[in-house]
Amino acid sequence: MSIRVSIERILAEYKQASRQTFTGHPLASFIRRDFVQTIQKHTNYNGRLRVRASAGQSRWVRGPWAGIFDEFVTTGAQEGFYPVYLFREDMSGVYLSLNQAMTEAKTLHGANARRGLLARARDYRETLNRAKYKRFNLEKIDLRPSEKGNDTTYYEAGNIFAVFYGANKLPTEEVFIADLLAMIEAYEELIRLSAIDLRDGQIEGDEPIGEHVEDATRIRIHRRIERNSTLAKRVKQLLGHTCQVCNTNFEQKYGAIGRDYIEAHHLRPLASLRGKKVALDPRNDFAVLCSNCHRMVHRSGYVDDIERFKREHFVG
């Protein structure tokens, strides 16, 4: 199945399907499964990318979507930014958009969520090299919302840039693939540039000794890995909540407020982040450390060797 054929089917069948029972509908299953697999086969170069799509949960959404999520930013459409196919509500076409999560914006900005999305979209556009991605020349998108103020309008506000494919003039499969790969490249560039967040003018004091500002991208990516809530939760489930250096258990020391508190430490040195695929196995690529030991490990030369760090630096 090609991207073009998949999109063509959704555009042709969605309006009629959305008048029918949602549960078990073949088009809903096609969007969640087949469309995802079609997109996923073009994203395999990066082990962090995940594709998810939706036509709704208990009922049809006004416009289906399929998003591509880098685990460094988000594992779903509720937070961060990501490339996404957004179908117009009237099925007159579909956008490939670099967009933002409306759920996160609503939480952060409340009634001003759309204004916040628009402002952040401008910031992201200024961050990227627009000449490099001139194919994505749409800063405003029109998803043809059927009602003023529905959720579709948040996606309009969240658009960073996009390209539009009209239902009556779909491009070739080669164009769809080229655009998808270019959008993923823009996405990864924005992740790298966002990771180098030096608004305070300096990197933080717990960074490895000898690291300089030019290494800040890998430093920020390392921190993004360790603060990924999904990964951290799994690491703690597998490795427990007792520091692997000093044996501190926060619940034993502080009672109920310390229950389940520990930090996940990624064992791979910064140099390993130069490649496209980063090891993220919760059992084998992480350790659990208390806050103090975590900072000291990062300042040592043994970020990937907890036992040696204990021998060389920990005095009990």
Q: What is the dihedral of CA 153, 159, 51, 183, to 10 degrees?
A: 160
Verify that 256 and 135 share a domain, yes or no. no
Verify that 50 and 120 share a domain, yes or no. yes
Tell me whether residue 204 is in a domain. no
The two three-digit tokens of residue 82, written as one number: 């990501």
Tell me whether residue 206 is in a domain. no
Verify that 101 and 143 share a domain, yes or no. yes
Verify that 48 and 74 share a domain, yes or no. yes
Domain count, the chain: 2
Mean per-residue pLDDT over the chain, rounded: 85
Residues 5-64: pLDDT tens digits? 999 999 999 999 999 999 999 999 999 999 999 999 988 655 778 999 999 999 999 999
CA nearest to 31, candidates 46, 9, 53 = 53
Structure-token match 């591509």, residue found? 68
Verify that 184 and 268 share a domain, yes or no. no
Q: Which of 94-108, 128-142, 182-196 has the lowest mean pLDDT?
A: 182-196
Verify that 59 and 151 share a domain, yes or no. yes
Q: Which residues of 183-218 are buried (b: 16+ CB within 10 A; e: fewer)?
A: bbebbbebbeebbbeeeeeebeeebbeeeeeebbbb
Q: Tell if the pTM clears 0.75, that is, is over it.
A: no
pLDDT given at position 271: 59
Verify that 231 and 188 share a domain, yes or no. no
The parent domain of residue 287 ranges over: 213-313
The two three-digit tokens of residue 299, written as one number: 């300042």
Rounded distance between C-alpha atoms, residue 306 and residue 316, angstroms: 14
Tell me whether residue 172 is in a domain. yes
Average pLDDT over every residue of 98-107: 85
Tell me whether residue 202 is in a domain. no
Tell me whether residue 261 is in a domain. yes
Residues 207-243: pLDDT tens digits? 444 443 345 555 656 666 776 666 788 889 999 999 9
Three-state SS annotation for 258-291: HCCCCEEEECCCHHHHHCCCCCCCCCCCEEEECH
Tell me whether residue 227 is in a domain. yes
Look at residues 137, 166, 195 and tell me which one is the last residue of a structural domain.
Answer: 195
Verify that 179 and 82 share a domain, yes or no. yes
Within 13 Å and on the Cβ side, how many CA atoms surround 162?
A: 29
Look at residues 143, 162, 195 and tell me which one is the last residue of a structural domain.
Answer: 195
Tell me whether residue 133 is in a domain. yes
Maximum pairwise Cα distance, the chain:
71
What are the Cα distances from residue 3, in Å, to 8, 34, 87, 138, 289?
8, 10, 14, 21, 45
Verify that 222 and 308 share a domain, yes or no. yes
Verify that 168 and 222 share a domain, yes or no. no
pLDDT given at position 278: 61
Look at residues 195, 227, 259 and tell me which one is the last residue of a structural domain.
Answer: 195
Verify that 121 and 12 share a domain, yes or no. yes
Rounded distance between C-alpha atoms, residue 61 and residue 275, angstroms: 38
CATH number of the domain that 180 lies in?
3.30.920.90
Verify that 187 and 220 share a domain, yes or no. no
For 229, other C-beta atoms within 10 Å of its C-beta total 11
3-state helix, strand, coil in the chain (%, to 5): 45, 15, 40
Tell me whether residue 230 is in a domain. yes
